[in-house]
Structure 1
Amino acid sequence: MPADQIHLVRHGEVENPEGVLYGRIEGFGLSTLGHRMAKASADFLRAEAAPVRALVASPLQRTQESAAPWAADFGLEVQTDERLIEPTNKYEGRRGDFKKSLVRPAEWPWIVNPLKPSWGEAYVSIAARMLAAVDSAWRSVDDGDVVLVSHQLPIWMVHRSLLGQRLFHDPRRRRCTLSSITTLARRGDAFVEVDYREPARALQSTAVDTGAV
């Protein structure tokens, strides 16, 4: 039998004092609070005695660091899957104000199609690679659960895909907080979302959640 459940876990708060859109830029690891958030998330499932059999993370520093307490709690090695990575974005390194592109003709092609979006990896591409990673994780174990540590937009694309919603959306309305856990299960030939929890909710009030694409 394949896995029982797949847990999509977002990374914790990132050390980002300049408030830049960090995307895939190297060197953006967790803040002190972010490490606490990641541990709260791992401890939450450990307290439930979740049968986690495998742990996979995006290759970026913040997700690898967020996976560390899971590895410690469940005695697992952190595997890496490139399909879980943050999408590309032409605004990386900036303090993210898309409106400035309106007065920069060279950047007009970036904003010509927000439905795609034209400034980065297409939503359909993100959803496809994430769902492929979920399927691989499901098949990778004989029983129990698998934890996938990823990023807000990729996890949100899975959520909207499984609900049959259009992928274009208002980023301000994403329900995917830092160190949250979105849980999937297989029902027949398809995956369905069965739970969403925020183990680090008590830490959210002082967290800064900027820099995600």
Structure 2
Amino acid sequence: MPANQIHLVRHGEVFNPEGVLYGRIEGFGLSTLGHRMAEASARSLREESLPIRRLVASPLQRTQESAEPWARRFGLEIETDARLIEPTNKFEGRQQTYKKALVTPAEWPWIANPLKPSWGEAYVSIAARMLAAVDEAWRSVDDGDVVLVSHQLPIWMVHRSLKGERLFHDPRRRRCSLSSITTLEHHGDAFVEVSYREPAAALQASAVDTGAV
């Protein structure tokens, strides 16, 4: 039998005092609060005694650090899968990115097609690689669950794909908070989302969630 459930876990708060869009830039790790959020996320499933058999994370620092509490609590090694990574984005390292582009003619091609989007990796590409990673994870164990630690937009693309919703969306309306857990099961010949939880909700009030693409 393949995995029972796949848990898509978002990383915790990132130390980003300048409020830049960090994307794939190196050196953006978790804040002190972010480590606490990641710990709360791992603790929540440990307290439910779920059989986590495998742990995989995006190669970026913030996801690798967010995976550490899971590794400790479940006695697992952190594997890395580049398919779980944050999408590319031409505005990396900037503040007020899209508004500034409106008054910078050289950057107008970057924002020409928000449905794609033209400023970074296409939504269809993000969804395809994430769903491939989910499918591989599901097939990789004989039983139990697999945890995939990723980023907001990639996880949201899985959500919208499985719901049959268009991939273009308002980023302000994403339901994927810091250290949240989106759980999938395989029913018939398809994956379905069966739950969404926010184990670090008590820490959200003091968290700063900026910088995601």
Q: TM class, shorter-chain normalised?
A: over 0.9
Tell me how far apart the structure 2 counterparts of residues 2 and 34 of structure 1 sit (CA, whole Å). 32
Per-residue deviation, 1:97? 3.1
- Shift >3 Å, 4+ stretches: none
Tell me how far apart the structure 1 counterparts of residues 119 and 96 of structure 2 sit (CA, whole Å). 12
Which whole-Å deviations, capped at 9, do the CAs of 1:117-155 have from their partners, x for residues lacking one? 000000000000000000000001000000000000000
Tell me how far apart the structure 1 counterparts of residues 77 and 114 of structure 2 sit (CA, whole Å). 39
Q: Which residue of 2 aligns with 1:176?
A: 176
Q: Which residue of 1 aligns with 2:4?
A: 4
Task: In structure 1, list runs of 5 or more residues that go unmatched.
Answer: none
Per-residue deviation, 1:100? 1.4
Aligned residue for 1:108, secondary structure, equals: helix
Per-residue deviation, 1:104? 1.0
Tell me how far apart the structure 2 counterparts of residues 127 and 199 of structure 1 sit (CA, whole Å). 25
Tell me how far apart the structure 2 counterparts of residues 70 and 99 of structure 1 sit (CA, whole Å). 38
Tell me how far apart the structure 1 counterparts of residues 189 and 56 of structure 2 sit (CA, whole Å). 23
**TM-score of the superposition, structure 2-length normalised?**
0.99
Tell me how far apart the structure 2 counterparts of residues 97 and 91 of structure 1 sit (CA, whole Å). 6
Q: Which residue of 2 aligns with 1:151?
A: 151
Tell me how far apart the structure 2 counterparts of residues 135 and 97 of structure 1 sit (CA, whole Å). 34
Determine what percentage of the aligned residue pairs are the same residue. Answer: 84
> Residues 185-196 of structure 1 correspond to what in structure 2 (within 5 A)?
185-196=185-196
Q: Which residue of 1 aligns with 2:38?
A: 38
Per-residue deviation, 1:96? 3.2
Q: Which residue of 2 aligns with 1:99?
A: 99
Q: Which residue of 1 aligns with 2:204?
A: 204
- RMSD (Å), alpha carbons: 0.5
Aligned residue for 1:2, secondary structure, equals: coil
Code of the aligned partner of 2:67: A
Q: Number of paired residues?
A: 213
Per-residue deviation, 1:193? 0.0
Which whole-Å deviations, capped at 9, do the CAs of 1:159-209 have from their partners, x for residues lacking one? 000000000000000000000000000001100000000000000000000
Code of the aligned partner of 2:211: G
**TM-score of the superposition, structure 1-length normalised?**
0.99
Per-residue deviation, 1:112? 0.5
Counterpart check, 1:123 vs 2:117 = no
Per-residue deviation, 1:101? 1.0
Code of the aligned partner of 1:52: I
Per-residue deviation, 1:105? 1.2
Tell me how far apart the structure 1 counterparts of residues 167 and 96 of structure 2 sit (CA, whole Å). 21
Code of the aligned partner of 2:189: D
Per-residue deviation, 1:99? 1.7
Counterpart check, 1:136 vs 2:139 = no
Task: In structure 2, list runs of 5 or more residues that go unmatched.
Answer: none
